[in-house]
Structure 1
Amino acid sequence: MNETEPEAPSPIRRFVAVVVTVLLLIAIPSVGILYQHQADALAERVLQEGRGVLDAYVAQTQDSIEKGQPRTFQQAINNIARLQSVLETALYSRYRLQTYRSGEQTQGVPFVRREAIPEGFQPYPKDKPLRRDWSQRDLTDAPAGKLHRQVIGERDCGECHYVLDKRLRFDQQGRAQLIESDKASFYQRLQVEEQCVACHTHWQVGEDAGYLGVTIETSRQQAEVSRSIWRVVYVLILIALVVLLATLIIGWMYARLDERNRELATKRGKIASLLDNSDQGFLSFDQGLRVDSEYSQECLDIFGQAPEGQDISGLLFPQDADKARDFGNNIQRILHEADANKRQLFLSLMPKELQIGDKTVRLDYRLLPQQRVMLVLSDVTRQKQLEQQVREEQGRLRLIVAAVREPEDFFELLDDYRRFDADELPPLLGQSQPDADRLAELYRRIHTFKGLFAQQEFIRLPSALHQLEGLIGQWRRGSSIEAGWQQRLRQAMAQSAQALDWDLGLVREALGEEFFQRRGELRLSPQQVRLLEDIAERLLRTDVADIRCGETRRMVAELRRLRHVDLRSLLASYPPLAERLAERLDKMIHPFVIEGEALRVPPGPYQPFIKALVHLFRNALDHGIEDPEERLAAGKDEMGRISCRLTRQGDELLLEVADDGRGIDLQALRQKALELGLFSPQQAAAASEQELLQVVFTDRLSTRSQVSDLSGRGIGLAALKAELDRLGGRVSIQTQPGQGTCFCFYLPWLDSPAA
C-alpha cells in the first residue's frame, strides 16, 4: 500500500509563521528591554523622591537634634511623615538604635552619656526588639531611662527600638538607601559639629551624632510604571495585530500571486514546449543587441551554440564584420525612429534570408515594448533545396518542351552555334594579339547566342556564354591582355562545350536519340501531299515541254512556298519569354500575343533579325517596365503592357514592338553619348530627338552600373541593329517619358526563299 506523502505547508502558512516568529523575536526582547528601562526609571524616580524628602527631613530636624529639642524634633518628623507617599520617618541614635519615629517618641536613650555604653555593644538586628534580659543597666538606670521604662510600662522594647539594617552602606556624603518591592528607605548620617558639643559635652566633633531615616511607598510609582508598560504592551499588541492582519492580507495576495505564477509558469512551459517543437527559432534582444535568456530550442540548432547574452549581429554575420555593423546600426535606427510607419518600412528592408553555416535561414522581425526586437528564425535549407530541385526540374521540362514545340528553331540555333564554335572562335586562338574588330564581332555574336539559348530554355549554356562574354569584354574594353590569354579562352570555350553537352543530355534523356536523328524531317499537310502527288502524276504522263506550262510553274511555286512560314510563328516564342523574364524580375505584365496579318515569308533571311529581337524584349522588361510599386505611384496599372504587331505596307513589313514603361531618358542618353565621344557638346545640344534615340543602338552603350545575365553590357541593341542593317531594314523610335516606347522596324518584303 502506498503511503501518501504529507501535504507541504501552503506558502501563506509559511509566510504567516515566519512573520509571527519574527514578531515574537522582536516583541519579547522589546518588552524585556522596556521593563528594564521602566524599572530603572522607577528606581531613579524613587531615588530622587526619597532623597528629596530626606534632604527636607534633615534640613528641618538638624537644628532640633543639635540642640536636643525633642518636641520640636518630633513635630518636624511628624510633619514630614504627613507628606504624600511618606510612610514613616525615624531617628536612630549614634548607637544605631531607633529612638524617634513619626507619631512616637522614645525618651532617654538619645541623651545618655557616652561612657554608659557597654563595651562590646553590637547593634541589634533589625525587627528584633530589645529583650528585657538584655543588660542595659547603665542605660535604663539613668533618670531618663527610668522615666522611659515608666512610660512604656510592660511593652516590648521592640515596639519602638530597632537597629539599623546591617546591609546599609553609607557613601562619602553619609547617605544610604534600601529599596524594596513596596517601599524604599533612605538614611542620612549626621556628624557632630562644633555647636553640638555645647549641648552634648561627651560628643566629639566629626563623630556620628545619629541617623535620620525616611521610608516612602513605591506602589504608586510601580503602578504608574505598570500602567505605562501595559500601555506599551497594548500598543505592541495592536501593532502586532495590524502587522498580522497585513501579513494575512499579504500572504493571501502572495498565495494568489504564487498561484498565478504557477499558472503562468505552466502556460509558459506549454508555450516553450510548443516553440521548442515548432521548428522555428524565437529570441529577443535589446537595443544593445544582447540576446535575452529566453529562446527556443531551434536557436541552438541554427547557431550551434547558446545565443544568450551574445551580440545578435555577430551571430547572424560571424564572418562579415561590415554587415554585422550595418545590421546593428539599422536596428538602432529602427528602435529610435518615432514614426511607426517608418519603423515598419525600415523593418521591411532588413535582411530576410541569410546563410548561417550550412543552413539557409529566413528572418522575421517583430517590435516589442521597451525598445526590444523579437527575431523569428526559420531553417528553410530543406525548403530551398526542394525549391532548387523544383526549379531544376522545371528548367529541364521547359527545355524539353521548347525543343519539341519548336524543333526547327532548336536545331537551327544548335547548328549556328556549332558553326560559330568551330569556325569563328578557333582562329582567334592563333593570333598573338586579338584584333579589335574581330573581338567586337565575336562579342556581339556571343551576346546574341546567350539570349537565344536562354529563349530556348537552355539551363547551363547561357551562364557559360555569359562568362565567355565577360572575358572577351575585358579585352575589348582596353584591358591589357596578359600572357596566357589563349589558355583562358580555351578554358572558357571548353566550359561552354561542357554546358552545351549537359543541356543536350537532358533533351536526349527525355526524347531519345531518335529526336536528334530525324531533325531535318519535313512534315506536310494532307493537301500539300495531294498536290505533290498531282505534280508527280503530270510529270509522268507528259513530256518535257509540258513542264514549262503555267500550271506546272504554279505548282512548283507552291512547292517552294512549303518552306515559307508565318512570320508570326517566328515571333511566337517572345510572349512566353517576356512573361518568364517579368516573373524573374518581380514585375508584372499582361499576357500578349503577336498581332497582325498572316504573312508567310522564307524564314532564312529573317531569322537572324528575329533572333536578335531577344535583346529588345529583354531591355523592355529590364529598363522599360517599372516595378508594380513604381507603376502604382505613377498612377498606372500595376501590370505593364507589351505589344508586338505585324503589318505589310507595300514592299515593306512593319514590325512594331511597344511597352507602356518609363520611356527613354533623353537627357541621360545625351550625357552617355558625350561620355562615349559620339557627339561633341555642340552636336549633342543640337541633336534632334531621333538622332539621340539612334544612340541606343551604339555598341557599349548602357545606363546600368551592374552587369547581369539579362542586360548591362550595352551590346544587345547594337547586335539587333547589325542584323537589321544586314537585312536592309530601318528603324524609328517614338518615346514619351513616363508613358512608354515604341520601336518601329521596317523590313523588306522578301518572297523568294533564296532571298
Structure 2
Amino acid sequence: MKGRNSIQFRIITGLLLILLLSVGVSIYLTTANQKSNLLDASQRTLAVNNEMLNTTIRNIMLSGEAPIANRTMEDFRKITGFLEFELYRTDGSTAFNDYDTLNFVNDYQSMVMFDQTPRVEGRSIDTEDFQQVLMNKTPVISLNEDTREMEYYFPILNFAECRVCHGDDEFIRGVSHFRISLDSIYDQVRRAGVLMAVYFVSVGVILFTWILLLMHRTIIKPVLDIGETVNIAATGNLDIQVDLDRNDEVGELAGRVNHMISGLRERRDLELQNKVIETRLEENRKYLDHIKEGLLLLNSERRITGQYSVFLTKLFMREDIAGLSLADFIYPDAERFADERRDLDGFLEMLFTNKTADMDMIMSINPLNEAVLQLDQDNEIIIRADFLRIVENGEMENVMVIFENLTDIVHSRHELEEERQRRESELEQIATVLKMGPKVFEGFIEEGERAFGSLRGNLTNFSDKEFISEAFRSVHSVKGTARYLDFPGVEEHCHQLENLFAEVRDGSRKVDKSLEETVAGTLDSLDDELVLIRKLIDRFKEFSVGSESTQVSPFNVFGERINDMVKDISNELDKDVVFNLETDLESVPGLPEIQPSIFHLIRNALDHGLEDIYERLAAGKPSESQLSLRFIHEDNWLKIEVEDDGRGLDMPALEKKGVEMGLLKPGVHLPSQIVNVLFRPGFSSRDEATSISGRGVGLDAVKEDIKKMGGRINIRTSRGKGTTFVLLVPWKGDEEGVLV
C-alpha cells in the first residue's frame, strides 16, 4: 500500500522526527552549557576584579588620596561593559556626596597639601541585594537575563586602619556596587548556536540519507519481495520460494514464509492422501462394526483412536471412547483403582518405549491378563487383553489391543475348581470320619445348628451389645472347631460373620435391613455346609455298621488333630514351633466341653505369644519356639496348662490399651486388674484382625465356657520368657472323653 500508510513513508517520517528532535535537543543543551560556562567565568572574573578594585581604592584612600580614588573610579566607569561603579554608605547614599564630610576631608588635605576631593553626584540605593549584603556581610552577585546585565555588591569592611577616623562601632562601612553589560557574552552564545545548528543539520541530513538507503536495501526491498512471493503462492503456485540468503531477522522471516509455503504444499499432498485413507477407514469401520471381538488402536500418546469395534463398546457398556487413555477406559474410577491404573500406565510405557525388549517378556507382566472389572453394581466381567505393535517404516505407529471376554470360561473354571476342592474336602472328611467316627461330626453339627439357629432367630437384635458379644463367642468357637476338623468352607463363612459383627460392634456399619439380609445369606451358606456334612455322616453310617470297635481312642485323635492344627497355623505365620502334648491320662473326662477353650488358647499362643524367628534370634533365644499342652489330674480338679516360651505379657502396653478402650480408668493398676482386661469382650492387643485371632473374642469365650463349667483361670507370665494359661475345671470322674 502506497502513501502515508506505507512502511517507507513511516520510516522516513520517523527518521525526520528523530533527527529534528535530536538536533534541537543537542543545540539547546550545548548552547545552554556554553552560556552557563561563560556566565560562571564572568562571575569569577568580576569577583576577582572587584577584589582588586576595592583593594586599590582602599589603599589610595588610606594614603589620604581621596581625589585619586574618585578619579580612579571614574576611569573604571569608562571601561567598555562597565555601566555603573559606586561606593554606598550603609544608609544607601553615595560616598563623597554630603558637604560636611567633603569639607572635613578637604580641610585635612589642605593641611598636608593634597588635592581637593570633588563632590560626586548624590544617589541612593535600597535594593534587596543591597540589604542582603548588609545583613549577611557577604558579597552578592545578581544576573538579569532580560537586560543582559550582572550586578555585584561587595561589603566594605571597617579595617583597623580606618577605625582611627571612623571609629569601631560598625563592622561594615559601606557597600561597593558595580553593574556590567553581558551583551558580548549573549551574542557569542547566539553565534555559537547558529554555527552548531548548521553543523548538526548537515550531519543529520547525511545520516538520514545513509539510513534511508540502508533501510531500503536491507528491509523495504526484501519485505516487498517476500510480499510478492506470498501473493504468488496465494494464487495456488506452491512451488515458489523466497530467494533470500541472509542470517538476520529478514532472512528468518523469509525462511518462515518458505516453511509456510512448504507446509501448505505438504498439506495439499496430505489431503490427497487423506482421501485415500478415509476410503480405507470406511472399509475398516464396516469391518469393526461387524467383528465379534473387542478391538481398539492406541496412538503414540497412549490414547484410543477412532478405530475400535462396536463389540468392544457393548462388552464394556461404554460409548464414544475415542480420545480416552486406556487407564481411563478400563478403570474410570481413578481414586479407587489408583494402583491398577499406575500398573497399566507403566506396562504401556514399557510397551511403547522399550522397543528392543522381547514381546513375550513384556507380556509376562501384562496387568490385563484375566482382569476382573466391575462395570457397575450388577455387572462384572473378566477379560484378557493382548497387545500387538504396529510398525511402519521401522517406527512403531500404533498398538492394537484385542480384548477377549473370559467371564464364562473363568466362572466355569472356578466352578470346576470348587467342585474339585469340594470332592477333595469330602474325601478328607470321609478319611476323618473313618478315623474319628461320626460322633465327632455329629457334635460339631449340633453345635453349629445351635449357634446358627440362635442367630437366625435374632436377626433384629444386632443393636444389643450383649447379643453381639454372645454371637461373636459362639461363631468364633464354631470357626475354631471347623479349623480343627478341616472344614474350610465353614471356617470362611464364620470369618465373614465375624467381620460383620466387628463392624457393628465398632460402629462402622449400621444395623439395618441390608445387614440382616447379608447375615441371613451367610447363614444359608453355613446351613448348606452343615447339610453336606450331615449327608456325609448318613452315608458313612450306611456303610459302617458294626465298625465302631475299630475306631481310634478320642484322646489320641484329639492329639493328632491338635498337632496338625499347630503345624498349619505355625506355617501360616512363618514360625518354627515345637509342640508338646504332655499327660499321663489315657482319657480326659469332659474333653468335648473344654476343647473350644483349648483351641482359643493354642491360637492365641501361636499368634500373639510366640515371636517369629528373627525376633527370637534378636532376643538371644533359639529359633525354635516351644508350645506345650498339659492335662493333669489334681484331687478333684482337671488342670489344663497351655505354656509358651514367647515374649510374655506386656503389662504397660495392655494397661495403655485398656485405658484407651475405656476398660480401665487412668491411674495405677494392679497386675490382676490389667490381666482381667484380656477377658473383656472386644479387647485385643492387635489393631488388625486376621483369620486366626485379633477379634477380641477368644479369651472372652474361654472365660464364659470355663465359668459355665464351674472352673477358673490362672495366668503366669514373665516378660521375655513366656506365658502359661492354667484352666481348672471340676473332675468328672471316669466319663468317657469324646471330641466335640
TM-score (norm 2): 0.42
Normalising by the residue count of structure 1, what TM-score does the alignment of the two structures yield? 0.41
Please tell me whether Structure 1 or Structure 2 has the larger radius of gyration of its CA atoms: 1
